[in-house]
Amino acid sequence: MMNDVKCKELIDQLVNNANENEIIEFKEAKNSFDFDKLGKYFSALSNEANLKHKKDAWLIFGVKDKPKMIIGTGYKKSGGLQQIKHDIATHTTKRITFIEIYEAQYLGVRIVLFQIPPAPLGLPIAWQGHYYGRDGESLHALNLEELERIRAQSGTRDWSSEVCPDATITDLDDEALAFARSNFKNKNPRLLNEIDNWDDITFLNKAKITIKDQITNTALLLLGKEESQHFLLPAISQITWILKDKNNIELDYQHFSMPLILNAERIAQRIRNLTYRYLPDNTLFPTEVTQYEAYVIREALNNCIAHQDYSLKERINLVEFPECLVFENAGSFIPVTIANVFEQDAPQKYYRNKFLCDAMVALNMIDTIGSGIKKMFMYQRERFFPLPDYEFINSKAVKVKIFGKIIDKNYTKLLINKTDLPIETVILLDQVQKSKPIEDVEAKKLKNMQLIEGRKPSYFVAAHVTEASGDRANYIKNKAFNDAYYKKMILAFLQQYSSATRKDIEDLLMDKLSDVLSNAQKKNKITNLLSILSKKDNLIMNSGSRTKPKWERKL
């Protein structure tokens, strides 16, 4: 706490020697201030103080910023200023608030100071469920990179390394222990002669699954008996497999619990990995592959186990559709973006469950994060299938879709014909085949490489690629014709039938416009063609009304 003298010294320092920045904010607040905005400033200033390694941030009422001027404030709160602590805590992360509030008389006017400490290590501060930060003087949403920097700080709790004092080795499953020992041997062939001489607890210590003979959450999660689930509560140690048909109707489901080292294998075996056939160029014989590469299934599923945020108390889900698998685990995506995975040539600096990840690597269940994801992409690329889709849901879940069929045969033929394309380029082409937006600079790059054509946002595989693969008809269907061709069709129709309604024109052109366009885009193109013919070319006119046009040729 500060006395009046200290308060005045601080005001002197802040007002006379500091401008607004990420950790200092001045507000006039003559008589009132929006409480929701106050909460957002608390979140932003607390998070910024953490990111900039400051011991506190300051929000000062009664000071005009530009130009800097002491004006005083009449801001009050029902129940007194100290009531603010309680009210802010109600809407912040884990009901946290550490703010100190001071009132001081300065140059004859009242000043209110809010002292806001940095967000705790590994715990960004949210206001009403949203994380805020600052860019200079501006308030904005905390971006993903900043959010993960806070979450990744040293001192963050690693749930997976925590010891369960009441659990013993008798709570572990014998079959799971044997399977773990076998996997460890495969991972460490140089230790084969030693491993068979280890008892179970020695093996667990050596594999870094237990800590000094004590059973950890990791040991229970991977090797625990099903009836040992209660040791991990309130965390949920369960994976749900759901089978759905093409109409999203549930056909079957099953819950799998501990030991996850065995049940991950059992889930993989439940997946209907059917044979898929496609016909490469210049051959009468189809290529046959399974819908899914076994490595990809296991890596995706085991990644869910390794990187699940168990504090969120949610299940891992695997939904099997006829043409794809969808894996979902709770928690944010540690590398933040897929681009970061491919740009970084080193393991991540931070793992949510480092102890668990290390154990799963030792037991040959996963590769280190990043390398496993890269392999999944490469396997799909080598099979000429669509690449995995990653979706990040409000920083609280990661959803991965693995495709078990071809989406666009032109994309597949392109990969067959051009096996030397960099993976970054293949990722962009995969976005194009899925009709997902790409940046202008990325589109320009692909066009310069003559790999795509079309106009934003409707890009498609370039002409020479499809022609080389014997698919000229599909190219023409995508590219369609130029505007002159469509205008001639309209004029010929009017010459033949004297007049045409809007429906007549749409019936004439809709199935002839590029299949790349949606119905709405096709109708908009027809509107533009009619506008050009009437206003610019002066060749047709509307003799009807605006709502019921009747188009005729001008004499």
pLDDT for 300 equals 95
What pLDDT does 468 receive?
46
Beta strands 57-61; 24-27: pairing state? parallel
Structure-token match 């002669």, residue found: 193
Q: Which of 400, 398, 369 is nearest to 386 (CA)?
A: 400
Class for the domain spanning 483-553: mainly alpha
Q: Which of 507, 541, 506 is nearest to 525 (CA)?
A: 506
Residue 398's pLDDT is what?
A: 93
**CA–CA separation, 87 vs 110, rounded Å?**
23
Render 187-242 in DSSP notation, one character per residue: H-GGGHHHHTTS-HHHHHHHTTSSBTTBPBHHHHHHHB-GGGGGGGTTS---EEEE
The pLDDT assigned to 149 comes to 81
Beta strands in 358-496 (DSSP E): 389-393, 397-403, 452-455, 458-461
Distance CA 290, CA 281 (A): 20
Angle at 498 between CA 493 and CA 504, to 5 degrees: 50
Residue 166, helix vs strand vs coil? coil
Contact (Cβ atoms closer than 8 angstroms) between residue 516 and residue 470? no
Positions of the chain with pLDDT lower than 70, given as ranges:
1-2, 17-18, 20, 81-82, 94-98, 153-156, 278-286, 345-350, 368-370, 395, 461-482, 515-516
Cis amide linkage into residue 437, ω under 30° from 0: no
Q: Are 208 and 360 in contact (CB under 8 A)?
A: no
Q: What is the largest CA-CA distance in the chain?
A: 101
Query: CB–CB of 387/377 below 8 Å?
Result: yes
321: nearest Cα among 250, 262, 266, 221? 250
Per-residue pLDDT at 462: 67
Q: Cα-Cα-Cα-Cα dihedral of 218, 221, 225, 228, to 10°?
A: 90
Query: DSSP 3-state assignment of 124?
Result: coil
Q: Each residue of 126-145: b (16+ CB within 10 Å) or e?
A: bbeeebbbbeeeeeeebeee
Residue 358 is predicted with a pLDDT of 92
Retrieve residue 367's tokens.
């590769």
Domain spans of the chain, in order of start: 4-151, 409-479, 483-553
Half-sphere exposure of residue 223, counting CA atoms within 13 Å on the CB side?
A: 32
Work out whether strand 324-330 and strand 397-403 pair parallel, antiparallel, or are unpaired. Answer: antiparallel
Quick one: pLDDT at residue 285?
54
Q: Are 340 and 144 in contact (CB under 8 A)?
A: no
| CATH class of segment(s) 4-151 | alpha beta
> In the chain, what is the straight-line distance between the N-terminal and C-terminal CA atoms, in Å?
90
Q: Measured between alpha carbons, how far is residue 129 from residues 16, 124, 165 in Å? A: 36, 11, 34
Residue 161 near residue 218 (C-beta atoms within 8 A): yes
What is the full DSSP assignment across 249-287? -EEEEEEE-S-HHHHHHHHHHHS---EEEE--TT-SS-E
Predicted confidence at residue 263, as pLDDT, reads 96
Predicted model pTM: 0.60
